[in-house]
Chains A and B, each alone.
Chain A
Amino acid sequence: MSTQVNVRLNEHLLQEIDAITKVLHVSRSEWLRNIIAHAVKEETLNLKEAIALEYAKGHISEEELNELLGSESEDVKFVVKHLKYGKEKIDRLVEK
């Protein structure tokens, strides 16, 4: 199922989009759909990476991590805990 969304674009941007779609032999709608899907995927990934790093730095709580990442927070919590465990082991190994 799809829903129509109306977006206003400035004339110059629209000309650039039309030039690209002409070269690629795709419709304006199809090209925009692909670009938006790709951008959403990338932004979601960037956001998840930022959240994981903030948790690892101790800037957000476990509860906040759970809320933001849902079930995916489990692996992040495990990795962060295991990184600390391994760090302590390596510290002791280097001190020997």
Chain B
Amino acid sequence: MKNTFAFDTSALIYLGHTGLFDLIFDNFEIIISEGVLEELRGISKIDDEDGEVAKIWLADPDRFKIKKCKRKEVAEDELFLICKEIGMPLVTDDINAVKRFEDEITCFFSVHVLYFAFKKDLISKESALISVEKMKTQRDWKRNIIAITSKTLFT
């Protein structure tokens, strides 16, 4: 049975860099908001690695479930409303969003999705660690804190 999780744009982009699209689609029912869909479309127009990942996610939009809710300025806020209403976890790598939401909904980082796959024996420890490295696409300290420290999940 698939697990139903909401994913924000940052999580989808990070996870997309691992190339594990089928594994994620096979094991998760992916819920997104209209705002996330718009963000993915916007990123897909940019000629860089994130843009390529966004294009792959969007190649088959029927594989997502798009939940409608009151539109918000920030897509994370839309997902928060959806998760709170349905009682579903949110996958996001936005540290500030997790800080804001954690008292009301369950939040996971995208590396927790890899940890789930590792625990289910869907990927090996080595594959998980390689995937974590692939998520560190930019030499940006703040953006990489989660990936750097998540290596401890797989020991």
Residues of A participating in the B interface, judged by any CB pair closer than 8 Å: 42, 45, 48-49, 52-53, 55-57, 72, 75-76, 78-80, 82-83, 86-87, 89-91, 93-94
Contact = CB atoms under 8 A, between A and B. Distances in A.
Q: Which of under 10, 10 to 19, 20 to 34, or 35 or more describes the interface residues of B? A: 20 to 34
Contact of B112 (A45, A53, A78, A86): A86
12 contacts: A42-B139, A49-B144, A56-B152, A72-B141, A75-B145, A78-B95, A79-B109, A80-B152, A83-B109, A86-B107, A90-B112, A90-B115
Interface string B89-115: 100000100110010001111011001
B134 interface: no
Contacts, number: 71
B119 A91 contact: yes
B142 interface: yes
Interface of B: 3, 89, 95, 98-99, 102, 106-109, 111-112, 115-116, 119-120, 139, 141-142, 144-146, 148-153
